[in-house]
Structure 1
């Protein structure tokens, strides 16, 4: 890998500083509570949203926009902490619900939105409105407000896609924020860490066999919530279809929570929630062979035999024992009418998807070209 020139390194580091400072800057300069929202999703009947309430210090400085101001905002972002027992009202269309944050400041909202019958038939992004009620102990007099994006797919939906991120979309470096930031903002595009063909394959799945499906693309990760905005930027720069990014846990290791939270069975619970919101819609699941994705997905096929249409597993492990174990799982899911494909690359996944009518020929050819170009560079 060629090292960046000093000029490129400087420009990249400046972009990185501005990016890392952005969340604190959005919250304003004064000390107080702020709402951080994450992209949500839903159907014509119900929607789901996650967010967090922070207390953010002001630090009493008012610098001009520039490197020093960016560093100040990065410090503010680093030392802010989650606020427990904060009361919010979340509104989508004409429907509102009250929610209280947990011990780490997170809130999870599911709203029944069947009253919103005037929504268009085609896919669109809906905005949820959030209102954080004044905290009398904090001396606040005015509520804090924010908004969040919710993806609403077309009324006639043929399937939805759920994908792991770590070692499925991105090489394992996802766990290191500094590594990802360096790759995003300093290195050239061809050195970024998405697997060859991933971007084209996910776009093909989003558009479907007709080119106009606009399916929900839902992403899960073993990483912490703290890298959410980094992954959002990564998806944008790599032209991967945007969708909600749902992490398995808050890693902890803070003064608020000195030990990481156990994440056992959390991925399966997240997927069950998605299956419930998109009731009766079949799913395509994508993961990798390095962790327990094949086992988790096979269990979901047992539980929902008519809902999982195909499973794509990226081959990232070494050893024939693991090959045999995944083959046994593939035979088990095949008995319930679901193909589990252990694929060496994105092109193998795309070829199966095209053969079974999940993507269009143009999508397959774009994946083929992207793999050829990336693997030959």
Structure 2
């Protein structure tokens, strides 16, 4: 038993190192200034692009290209990479442009006013990013920006952890194992999630392109892993922009509170997509029901529905959510506590948020999982 436990621990350590090293590994040992942009988002009036500019050390020739030693070296390079402060960044989307400089940790968050309208026959647009660091050749990279069409009729904001995928927040060790060790396709999505989110994205007509924005309690370091997970599980890939900055640095050793982070971003999105009704999706394990109820009270008539995925079987927690349901009973927003994706899909269909085809797809996918 002890030997097996040690082997599992060793496997955990190796997989963790390999995962943490992966974003660094792809530059093939090259050092110098790097730019990592994150997928952007926007409305018809403005767009936002975020990313980081940093300096990374070069990998020595004595280090092998593969194996544990390479992973250790790449993790060390990642830990000691240095964000470049006050570095010029220019973002160009169509004929629109805006410049900024990075903050003290090398991050940039550019708001680009869309004075020149973007084509409305497509939703994903290319943003060109130029970075000019002192004494260096300018660096150019690109990233996608999602701008919903003018006829978009609904905004969806969804949690990720224990809402889209199993993470076991209540069981911290299991969460860490699933988050940092399992491959993306092994981090199981909840049954019916892919078809549910596809149905919400496409709407009642089946042709809508509604914005879906995802939020996670995890750090920016897992951004690429989440993207791979979404693609492998056929979940509509929206801007996974709202990961919490954990601040793992000597200056900021602790992360922001997750509920404060979530409330701030929802306020920001409701302002950006002013006028669009919104559906909020979360889980019962943390503070989503309380945060979302506060949003409904602050924005009367903006929140169309709240869907809370039930995780765990704590009677006290269920009763606290029932109490929130009673608080919202006099509003136009339904708070639905659902044990599976079917109940969410049925309510969404009854209220015209998804098509009958979308409802059938959710039921079919859940049934296939149960048969398997």
Aligned to 2:368: 373
Aligned to 1:50: 50
**C-alpha offsets along residues 245-296 of structure 1, whole Å, 9 cap, x if unaligned?**
1335222343453333445522111111111221111111100111111111
User: Once structures 1 and 2 are overlaid, which stretch shifts more, 298-307 or 229-238?
Assistant: 298-307
Cα separation, partners in 2 of 1:263 and 1:345, compared to 1, 3 Å: closer
Aligned to 2:8: none
Give distance in 1, aligned partners of 2:367 and 2:70.
40
Q: Please, what TM-score do these two structures have when normalized by structure 1?
A: 0.84
The answer to whether structure 1 residue 110 and structure 2 residue 111 are counterparts is: yes
Give distance in 2, aligned partners of 1:38 and 1:101.
14
The answer to whether structure 1 residue 91 and structure 2 residue 86 are counterparts is: no
Aligned to 2:41: 41
Aligned to 1:324: 319
User: Once structures 1 and 2 are overlaid, which stretch shifts more, 125-134 or 251-260?
Assistant: 251-260
Cα separation, partners in 2 of 1:27 and 1:43, compared to 1, 3 Å: farther
- State the Cα distance separating 1:108 from its structure 2 match: 1.6
* Unaligned residue ranges in structure 2 (runs of 5+): 1-10
The answer to whether structure 1 residue 194 and structure 2 residue 189 are counterparts is: yes
Of 209, 213, 221, the match for 2:216:
221
User: Once structures 1 and 2 are overlaid, which stretch shifts more, 275-284 or 51-60?
Assistant: 51-60
* Unaligned residue ranges in structure 1 (runs of 5+): 1-9
Aligned to 1:143: 138
- State the Cα distance separating 1:346 from its structure 2 match: 0.7
Across the aligned residues of Structure 1 and Structure 2, the Cα RMSD in angstroms comes to 2.7
Cα separation, partners in 2 of 1:257 and 1:277, compared to 1, 3 Å: same
User: Once structures 1 and 2 are overlaid, which stretch shifts more, 86-95 or 41-50?
Assistant: 86-95
Of 148, 154, 169, the match for 2:149:
154
- State the Cα distance separating 1:210 from its structure 2 match: 0.9
Aligned to 1:239: 234
Q: Is contact 2:259–2:287 with CA below 8 Å preserved after alignment?
A: no
Give distance in 2, aligned partners of 1:244 and 1:230.
14
Q: Is contact 2:199–2:354 with CA below 8 Å preserved after alignment?
A: yes
- State the Cα distance separating 1:88 from its structure 2 match: 1.4
User: Once structures 1 and 2 are overlaid, which stretch shifts more, 121-130 or 353-362?
Assistant: 121-130
**C-alpha offsets along residues 114-148 of structure 1, whole Å, 9 cap, x if unaligned?**
x222x33234211122222222xxxx331222222
Aligned to 2:279: 284
The answer to whether structure 1 residue 61 and structure 2 residue 61 are counterparts is: yes
Q: Is contact 1:310–1:340 with CA below 8 Å preserved after alignment?
A: yes
